[in-house]
Amino acid sequence: MIKALTIVTYTLLFLSLNGCATKNSQGEYESPYSYHPYNHNQRVTAPREVENREREVLQYRRENPIEKLIASAKSLLGSRYKYGAIGPYQYDCSGFTQYVFLREGIRLPRVSKQQAQVGTFVPPHQIVRGDLIFFDSKSSSEISHVGLYLGRGEFIHASSSKGRVTIGSLSSSYYQKHLKWGRRFIQNRRGR
């Protein structure tokens, strides 16, 4: 037992002094297998660099409430649709938007028709990422559906026809025809 510990100790000491994976002049690891000549041209991202990038992304989300809201909504993709459900595992369309906005500290009314009357009115051609978008149906001109606009013609919503939270496209003829308007709850945003 003592002999095995001694061997391990000497091996670790040897590796730390000789450095199997050496750093280059910038203090970065060239390769996890730097002692193999065929790997010397590869650059491996150091763990600290990865941590810094992750920290930057998290900081951006903290500073940008739209990105935080959208990340929250996307985390629920695939959740089941159920009429009248308000979460946390099943949603109808307005239950989904109410739940997502509440997670970010914004209170919305319960049903889509009421949600369509609060916030800042946005005409369809001025809708941007983070706006709620509202639709009527084939049988009525009243608001009957709501989703969260993601930009680039896409929105996330709890879809009764798909049976889950999913991403839809405004290029679909149905959604193009039935889109009514948007409502904005978070100002100071960029991009469509």
pTM of the model: 0.68
Confidence check: pLDDT of 28 > 70: no
Confidence check: pLDDT of 184 > 90: yes
Catalytic residue from among 36, 40, 125, 157: 157
CA–CA dist 153, 138 (Å, integer) = 21
Give the torsion sign (CA, 160, 163, 169, 173).
negative
Catalytic residue from among 20, 36, 40, 93: 93
Give catalytic status of residue 93 as yes or no. Answer: yes
37 falls in which pLDDT band (50, 70, 90)?
Answer: very low
Catalytic residue from among 40, 125, 145, 178: 145
CB-CB contact of 127 with 157 (8 Å): no
Adjacent-strand bridge partners of 135: 145, 179
Q: Residues of the chain with pLDDT > 70: what percent?
A: 69
SS (H, E, C) 115-161: HCCCCEEECHHHCCCCCEEEECCCCCCCCCEEEEEEECCEEEEEECC
Domains and CATH numbers, the chain: 2-44 (no CATH), 64-184 (3.90.1720.10)
Confidence check: pLDDT of 8 > 80: no
CB-CB contact of 178 with 170 (8 Å): no
Give catalytic status of residue 157 as yes or no. Answer: yes
pLDDT at 187: 81
